Amino acid sequence: MSDKIAYARHGDVAVLTVKNPPVNALSQAVRQGLWDGMDRAEADAGVRAVVIVGEGRAFFAGADITEFGKPLVEPNLPALINRIEASPLIVVASMHGVSLGGGLEVALGCHYRIAVPSARVGLPEVHLGLIPGAGGTQRLPRLTGVEAGLDVMTTGRHVGASEAHDLGIIDVLQDGDPAENGLAYAQKLLDESAPRRAVSEMDPPAPVDWDAAFEATLARSKGQISPAWCVRAVQASVEKPFAEGLKAERQIFFDLMQTDQREGMIHAFFSERAVGNLPELKGVAAREFDHIGVIGGGTMGAGIATAALLSGLRVTLLEMSAEAGEAARSRIAANLAGSLKRGKISPAQHDQILGETLSVVTGYDALAGADLVIEAVFEDMDVKKVVFAELDRVCKPGAILASNTSYLDIDAIAATTSRPGDVLGLHFFSPAHVMKLLEVVVGALTAPDVAATGFALGKRLGKVSVRAGVCDGFIGNRILSTYRIAADHMILDGASPYEIDAALEAFGFAMGPFAVADLAGLDIGYAVRKRKRMEGLDPRARDAAYADKLCEDGHFGQKTGKGYYDYAAGSKARVPNPDVMPLIEAERAAQGLKPRAFGSEEIVRRYMAAMVNEAAKVVGEGIARRPLDVDMTLLFGYGFPRYRGGPLKWADMVGLDALLADIKGYAEEDPYFWEPAPLLKDLVATGRTFDDLNKEG
Ligand code: 3H9
């Protein structure tokens, strides 16, 4: 028998313990071991029941995702589950930790299910671009009904044990050791002569309006298709005999396995975990931190302070005056009230944070004991230099000094201190207590343990941390400014901001670039354009000044009620601002440009080509270490659709040669902007992909 499964006999009950750390994924060896374990129990004279239990953190985290895309090795999971269910013995699943995907499907193939109260179950296959493929869509609705079953599968959410018990997924909740619980429960079932109870033999649930459910799910999923296909599989569970329903589920599962969406989402799953795993930081210990200083209590500073407080860190926030300090405290209190409302903290924690863990001060000396200080003041180098000089004066030796700048030169900031090795960038995204992305900006002199501490802080705050090198805008904002320029060029040439937003939202972005600009504030882009013009624009660069006029008229987007859109009817209404097109038309006329029509396909193609080309430069220059670092930056900070994996994964799937050909074509009109990235040319010439670079590490 496989060493992944331990077999033990306790009276007339056999216990199969799964040992496949870290999360008991159902790899081939586990599947084979379970199959052999069932054979052995059935052949073991006197055994009348079997308990399946996981060792370590979980029952099962599901199918082994690393096997996807490779040839299937028997036994396959649906066959194993059918085999468990068909056993003449009573089979009990004793669950703890998570039972996800194929893991829950194994439990549903058992005749009874017991779980500890902290257990969680779910069918998260939609997050991998799939549907449950081992009977989950056929068995779960027989226990829960269609509506609850579809909710679980189309959201992929983790369902707590108590809710799962109420839904009929778990039979018994019991505190204690899972193996002992399972054994006692199996014994009780035998004592009571409980029948074998196969879910597949239960009546199918009542039908619903399948087409309406399919369409509604598709509309909710913003371009992702797998949630809607859960509906069709569940429909089969109602309309077909069990074995036929299982076949229908399997067909949909395999069809989805062939899609780019599946490939993109699995890339996202592994990249999200790989992004904080930097080879250069292997074995480098982070510095200890417990007390965080935050300088500046505006939206960003208050958000950073909130994130730290919610993670149990002590925070001292510095503001310029008592009045500004009070405003900062109110912002933090409002953020915390939201967390309280959503049940993320208890009323006692809320009161303790505001009463004790947070202190708001007006003098630098109060930061003397801080382990790590994050500056979030006005984006101006002279202001930052003053702040860092003060920090250098008061902070204890070994304290880490971080700047939340979104584009300024970290090396220049570090050079103003006597301890440049302790300085790094920690670039949060607004609202900082909500957005998952953190760029850890490593300067030329940043010490390795300081970089490691940046990642440790990100982990503590629940962020996806990406290593970035120093350049204007780091990874995310540098790429953003390039694809925004591509969008502005399309506007000069004839597209409208509304056509561009619509095309990119149809592509899967949470919001189009102009809606995003309105949300972030048009003053940000205005300031950047002014700075770049002051630094001197290259004479070959095309300039678009129409948006400056919007700002000069006092329209900064949502916060002033008008930007590209008019928000008089609320932020969701998205009514185009009638002043915008005349400004654009005037600029086209001033530049002597004749507008032409742009289809949504061309809009997406140009926008994405600009994004990928700049991203390839960012990787080629070492600003991002790996393509996956860019992918995760765009996914977690810029609303890039997860089901496309990230811009560089998307580029691989579209084909790098086709993309380079597009870029060369665009370069014929504007060779300055569309200069192909050397890395992209190199990958095409050598027949490699961005993902090949990820694998090289
Ligand atoms: C499925 O079941 C299909 C079936 O319906 C049909 C089949 C025919 N496989 O996240 P963590 C690794 S689809 C392989 O850092 P946490 C993970 O990569 C599957 N590896 O820990 C990481 O490796 P490393 C449906 C897996 O405590 C390590 O385990 N199931 C798998 O934050 C620790 O993971 C899912 O979609 C796997 N299934 O979270 C569940 N799962 O250390 C996916 C994890 O080398 N998994 N690994 O970086 C999760 O949601 C989380 O990992 C979990 C633990 C909640 C389990």
In the predicted model, is pLDDT for residue 197 greater than 80? yes
In the predicted model, is pLDDT for residue 583 greater than 90? yes
Give the per-residue pLDDT at 530. 86
Confidence class for position 403, pLDDT limits 50, 70, 90: very high
Give the per-residue pLDDT at 285. 97
Tens digits of per-residue pLDDT, 467-476? Answer: 999 998 999 9
In the predicted model, is pLDDT for residue 485 greater than 80? yes
CA distances from 423 to 210, 212, 399, 402, 604 (A): 58, 56, 9, 6, 39
Give the per-residue pLDDT at 552. 92
Task: Compute the mean pLDDT over every residue in the chain, rounded to the nearest whole number.
Answer: 95
Tens digits of per-residue pLDDT, 676-692? Answer: 999 999 999 999 999 99
Order of all β-strands in the sheet with 423-428: 358-361, 314-318, 291-295, 372-375, 400-403, 423-428, 437-441, 464-468
Look at ligand 1, atom 56, and give the residue with the nearest C-alpha: 61
In the reported structure, the alpha carbon of residue 439 is separated from the centroid of ligand 1 by a whole-number distance in angstroms of 25
Confidence class for position 524, pLDDT limits 50, 70, 90: confident
Place of tokens 């995702």: 65
Give the per-residue pLDDT at 378. 87
In the predicted model, is pLDDT for residue 260 greater than 90? yes
Give the per-residue pLDDT at 69. 81
Query: Is the C-beta atom of 284 inside 6 A of ligand 1?
Result: no
The conformational region for residue 561 under phi > 0 = left, psi -120 to 50 = alpha, else beta, is left
Q: Cα separation of 109 and 200, whole Å?
A: 8
Query: Is the C-beta atom of 65 inside 6 A of ligand 1?
Result: yes
Place of tokens 């913003």: 222
Give the per-residue pLDDT at 510. 87
Confidence class for position 244, pLDDT limits 50, 70, 90: very high
Query: Is the C-beta atom of 265 inside 6 A of ligand 1?
Result: no
Return the C-alpha torsion angle 34, 40, 46, 50, nearest 10: 0
* Nearest alpha carbon to residue 167 among 131, 129, 123: 123
Give the per-residue pLDDT at 611. 98
In the predicted model, is pLDDT for residue 697 greater than 80? no
Task: Give the atom of ligand 1 at the shortest distance from the alpha carbon of 270.
Answer: 18
Q: Cα separation of 596 and 574, whole Å?
A: 25
- pLDDT, mean of residues 342-358: 93
CA distances from 128 to 154, 261, 280, 635 (A): 12, 8, 29, 15
In the predicted model, is pLDDT for residue 520 greater than 90? no
Tens digits of per-residue pLDDT, 365-396? Answer: 999 999 999 999 988 899 999 999 999 999 99
Q: Cα separation of 109 and 118, whole Å?
A: 22
The token pair at 462 is: 């629940």
In the predicted model, is pLDDT for residue 636 greater than 80? yes
In the predicted model, is pLDDT for residue 637 greater than 90? yes
CA distances from 2 to 193, 421, 511, 593 (A): 32, 51, 50, 71
The conformational region for residue 646 under phi > 0 = left, psi -120 to 50 = alpha, else beta, is left
Q: Cα separation of 111 and 143, whole Å?
A: 12
In the predicted model, is pLDDT for residue 275 greater than 90? yes
In the reported structure, the alpha carbon of residue 666 is separated from the centroid of ligand 1 by a whole-number distance in angstroms of 42
* Nearest alpha carbon to residue 460 among 299, 282, 638, 286: 286
Confidence class for position 134, pLDDT limits 50, 70, 90: very high
Pocket test residue of 18, 34, 65, 105 for ligand 1, highest count of atoms within 8 A of CB: 65
Q: Residues with catalytic annotation?
A: 105, 125
Tens digits of per-residue pLDDT, 84-113? Answer: 999 999 999 999 999 999 999 999 999 999
Instruction: Read off the DSSP letter of residue 294.
Output: E
In the reported structure, the alpha carbon of residue 227 is separated from the centroid of ligand 1 by a whole-number distance in angstroms of 19
Give the per-residue pLDDT at 280. 87
Pocket test residue of 4, 20, 23 for ligand 1, highest count of atoms within 8 A of CB: 23
Give the per-residue pLDDT at 529. 83
What single-letter amino acid sits at 266? I
In the predicted model, is pLDDT for residue 1 greater than 80? no
Q: Do the beta carbons of residue 351 and residue 309 sit within 8 Å? A: no
In the reported structure, the alpha carbon of residue 25 is separated from the centroid of ligand 1 by a whole-number distance in angstroms of 7
**Burial (CB count within 10 angstroms: exposed 0-12, middle 13-18, buried 19+), residue 277:** exposed
Give the per-residue pLDDT at 4. 95
- pLDDT, mean of residues 13-18: 98
Give the per-residue pLDDT at 572. 74
In the predicted model, is pLDDT for residue 121 greater than 90? yes
Helix/strand number for the chain, H first, E second: 29, 19
Give the per-residue pLDDT at 198. 98
Q: Cα separation of 518 and 557, whole Å?
A: 4
Give the per-residue pLDDT at 151. 98
**Burial (CB count within 10 angstroms: exposed 0-12, middle 13-18, buried 19+), residue 541:** exposed
In the reported structure, the alpha carbon of residue 21 is separated from the centroid of ligand 1 by a whole-number distance in angstroms of 11
Q: Cα separation of 467 and 277, whole Å?
A: 10
In the predicted model, is pLDDT for residue 37 greater than 80? yes
With a pLDDT cut of 70, the percent of the chain lying above it is: 100
Give the per-residue pLDDT at 472. 87
Give the per-residue pLDDT at 642. 97
Task: Give the atom of ligand 1 at the shortest distance from the alpha carbon of 269.
Answer: 18
Tens digits of per-residue pLDDT, 405-444? Answer: 988 999 999 999 999 999 999 999 989 999 999 999 999 9
Q: Cα separation of 79 and 362, whole Å?
A: 67
Question: What global pTM score does this model have?
Answer: 0.94
What is the 3-state composition of the chain as percent helix, strand, coil, each rounded to the nearest 5?
Answer: 55, 10, 35
Confidence class for position 124, pLDDT limits 50, 70, 90: very high
Q: Cα separation of 160 and 220, whole Å?
A: 24
Query: Is the C-beta atom of 303 inside 6 A of ligand 1?
Result: no
Query: Is the C-beta atom of 246 inside 6 A of ligand 1?
Result: no
Confidence class for position 534, pLDDT limits 50, 70, 90: confident
β-pair partners for 295: 318, 375
In the reported structure, the alpha carbon of residue 23 is separated from the centroid of ligand 1 by a whole-number distance in angstroms of 7
Give the per-residue pLDDT at 501. 97
With a pLDDT cut of 90, the percent of the chain lying above it is: 90
Q: Cα separation of 387 and 394, whole Å?
A: 11
CA 177-181-187 angle, to 5 degrees, is 150
Give the per-residue pLDDT at 84. 98
- Looking from the CA of 683 toward its CB, the CA atoms found within 13 Å total 27
Give the per-residue pLDDT at 204. 95
Query: Is the C-beta atom of 156 inside 6 A of ligand 1?
Result: no
- pLDDT, mean of residues 588-611: 97
